[in-house]
Amino acid sequence: MSTPEPTRRADPARDAAQLLVRLAFVILFVGVPLSAILSRRSIFVVMPIGTALILVAAALDVPGGAMRRLRELVINPVALCLLGLLAWAGISLLWTPFPGVAVERYAKTLGTIALATAAAGLLPARTKTSNLYLVPIGVILGAIATTAMVFLAPDELRGPGDVEASVIDRSVLGLCLMLWPALGAVATRERWNYGGVVAVSVAVTAIAVWTPGGMLGVALGAMAAATAMSNPHRAGKLWGALFAALIVLAPALVEGLYQIRADRLLGQGSAGYQLSVWAVQLREEGLRLVTGHGFDTFGRSIASGYLADLTPRTVLFEIWYELGVLGAFALALVVITAFREAGSHPPSSAAYHVGGLVCVCVIALTGDSTFQLWWLTLVSMVGVAFSSAARALYRSERPNVAIDRTRPAAMV
């Protein structure tokens, strides 16, 4: 007598949580790339909504394990180094010359990073394939929409070579960053054809809009991913050490180039002028090289005329100017631990984690972005996408089964 198959017990809370996660993925990874071409401030509205939905879903699905997962997330080496950097930035508010606006921006920055970090840590333990594919789909749709906007309304949406005033340039930089978790997502399912389509769509968009920083970031990211294919752990340590050394030794490099008159070799253009401005600034800093001028001083100083308009707009200058040597060392620790964490992932996705981090660092160092809130929000969202791709990896392998091909004898 056959026994009836056990029926799946309905769990309304879990079903609701899965629906909220699906909606959050649509908002984050499809809504953000599409809305980015319409407004520079759309990410500040869309990204918090998507991450908040993930937190609500976690509260419904694993109410007892949410706090445990958050504790595990906080003791992660990358999170600890990031907390150290944020703590020093908070202390620097005591001597910043713009305390009112600096405190407000610090609160927004802290809230954005905390929200994205909590969302990344409380994602479902296993990312569904249908949710995973929303990342490359969003990148492709965003690339198509951005390329179309270049020809439909270039004058209205693009500023005069300034990424801060350009909707389209910001959109392209976002696509260059989202390319890497999208490639990591298709790599977990070995859909290499889809990965090629995603990469080509982003490359075509970056060329059509012509964003040198984004194109350089993608190119060096691809080089880093190639070096990480065979030994991701070693590649992560090497690339992390390279960028960390660049952050810490930046003043020494600038002074050395200034001593050999590299500013004259570069001519009267912006590169030569920025080198001379930085070298002169270093000589006038004194003890400020240790403490910095305080959080949120860089942009305010340029706006108020204290710093020249052609001051280097790069993370290297900003971290030293605002947070000094302690902030530079803290950022270097964040970078090197993040690269080591990326290299520790399984080889099928570690290469794209390393490539994505290289792309982020290159764009930040070329001057296309600083520690503005839109950039930090974008990087935080990319971190959530990477976390979802990492949770899509198969946790086990099917065991080998020996099959007996002999035909059994018939029973009499």
Each residue's pLDDT expressed in tens, for the chain with a length of 412 residues: 445 544 455 677 788 888 999 999 999 999 999 988 888 888 999 999 999 999 998 888 765 566 777 777 778 899 999 999 999 999 999 999 988 899 999 999 999 999 999 998 888 888 888 899 999 999 999 999 999 888 876 565 555 555 666 788 889 999 999 999 999 999 888 888 888 999 999 999 999 888 888 899 999 999 999 999 889 999 999 999 999 999 999 988 888 877 776 656 555 556 666 777 788 788 777 778 889 999 999 888 888 888 877 788 888 889 999 999 999 999 999 999 999 999 888 877 899 999 999 999 999 888 766 778 889 999 999 999 999 988 887 554 444 444 444 444 443 3
Q: State the Cα–Cα distance between residues 284 and 54, nearest whole angstrom.
A: 48
- pLDDT at position 5: 47
- pLDDT at position 183: 93
Instruction: Compute the radius of gyration of the chain from its Cα atoms.
Output: 24
- pLDDT at position 264: 60
